[in-house]
Amino acid sequence: MKISENYTFEVGPIRPPSEATSLLLRITRNCPWNKCKFCGVYRGTSFSIRPKEHLIMDIDSVKKWTDLFKVAENMDPHEVRSMVNNLKNQLGDEQSWAYSSALNWYRNGMKSIFLQDSNSLVIKPDDLVDILTHIKKQFPEAERITSYARSETVARISDEDMKRIADAGLNRIHIGMETGSDVILGLVKKGTTKAKQILAGQKVKAAGIQLSEYFIPGLGGNEYSDLNALETADALNQINPDYIRIRTLAVTEKASLIEDYKQGIFTRTNDTKMVEELSLMIENLHGITSTIVSSDHIINLLPEAEGHLPDDKEKILSVLHGYLRLSEREQMLYRIGRRTGLMSSVHDLDNSSYRNHVEEIIQQYGIDNTNVDEFVDSLMNRFI
Ligand code: SF4
């Protein structure tokens, strides 16, 4: 029996790495902006909002499954199989994803929920409050409900609505600030300004919602490298987000930024320049208590460059400066070691087995100073 016309339980394409164990609930499809030149995730797709009643069905299906899993803990496997088949028949094919989503979430302790896709706060605040309220009713044990959001969208939401959304249960928001520079924001078509980024960040914090801001070293190319660092630090200093997550620039063929490189609008930075930029950004963070996170994505060159501000600032900078002090040859060895997954710290250069392996790769592919950037780019594209 079809539960509702055009209804299917849906799961979107991406989530932050920190939401790996979360239940994914798809509020909207794709990105309502979809113009950022560095982002190819939703290229060629169109945005839509899923009907609220479909979300309620998604939530209720996951509830039925997790209730069944709880009861099944101490039951005979044959009986469990029959109960699973009965529920599958009852829910229908439209819900095939619900079973695997619920099972994955149940096995991970049912602690957190992530609302997909790229900007859930774009829906009407009343609808978001209703969805959150239903989630909390069905899963009162869930400790965290999180979403991506665009600054431009959050900046338009009233403080009262943000508070209602927070009170209904949304307790963490991930915002892709990318850069605090208006020049770079304009060039990459981010569709917002530094002032809006600051306003949105402060609004999230004022509502009592945890805030992750993402920074992209390298986004302004060599031309705007210092500007990217300094303007981002200035914006972050005015927001004091809970987390500053580093996402080193990696450009795929799907991202239109490639065209800007071809036309010479930017010249592309390499790993070493991006470490210099990150270092300058962090040196200019003052008076904030954010946690810098570098290890949550393989794309970052130095995962050890993380910690709590202000106490760990010198420790983080010493990791970055340690890399910058290496000779050009050692930097190349480490870059290849990291991008091939062999190394995760410059101390791994002391491991002769890793080192020999990287030397073999260098020989095999004929890598030197003239082509290492290209080689590293091709490796990084595997991760995004
Ligand atoms: S970066 Fe975010 S806002 Fe920009 S196009 Fe990609 S998903 Fe949309």
Q: Tell me the average pLDDT across 78-89.
A: 85
Task: Give the Cα separation of 154 and 191 in Å (integer).
Answer: 13
Residue 384 has pLDDT above 80, yes or no: no
pLDDT greater at residue 186 or residue 85: 186
297 falls in which pLDDT band (50, 70, 90)? Answer: confident
pLDDT greater at residue 132 or residue 384: 132
Which mutation among 14, 29, 41 tests ligand 1's pocket best, with the greatest number of atoms within 8 A of CB?
41
Task: Give the Cα separation of 276 and 217 in Å (integer).
Answer: 9
What mean pLDDT, rounded, does the chain reach? 93
Q: Is 159 exposed, middle or buried (0-12, 13-18, 19+ CB in 10 A)?
A: exposed
Q: Tell me the average pLDDT across 360-370.
A: 94
Q: Percent of the chain, pLDDT > 70?
A: 98
Ligand 1 centroid to residue 260 C-alpha, Å: 18
383 falls in which pLDDT band (50, 70, 90)? Answer: low
Phi and psi angles of residue 293, each rounded to the nearest 5 degrees, phi first:
-120, 120
327 falls in which pLDDT band (50, 70, 90)? Answer: very high
Ligand 1 centroid to residue 176 C-alpha, Å: 8
19, two tokens: 């939401």
State the Cα angle at 242 between 238 and 248, rounded to 5°: 85
Ligand 1 centroid to residue 38 C-alpha, Å: 9
Span(s) in the chain for CATH 3.20.20.70: 150-325
Residue 4 has pLDDT above 70, yes or no: no
Ligand 1 contacts CB of residue 122 (under 6 A): no
Taking the CB of residue 81, how many other CB atoms lie within 10 A of it? Answer: 12
1 falls in which pLDDT band (50, 70, 90)? Answer: very low
Ligand 1 contacts CB of residue 176 (under 6 A): yes
92-103 tens-digit pLDDT? 777 778 999 999
**What is the topology classification, in CATH, of domain 150-325?**
TIM Barrel (3.20.20)
Ligand 1 contacts CB of residue 118 (under 6 A): yes
Residue 70 has pLDDT above 70, yes or no: yes
Which mutation among 28, 30, 34 tests ligand 1's pocket best, with the greatest number of atoms within 8 A of CB?
34
CA atoms within 13 Å, Cβ hemisphere of 313: 14
Q: Is 287 exposed, middle or buried (0-12, 13-18, 19+ CB in 10 A)?
A: exposed
Task: Give the Cα separation of 245 and 292 in Å (integer).
Answer: 6
Ligand 1 centroid to residue 149 C-alpha, Å: 9
189-248 tens-digit pLDDT? 999 999 999 999 999 999 999 999 999 999 999 999 999 999 999 999 999 999 999 999
Q: Which pLDDT score, from 0 to 100, does residue 82 have?
A: 87
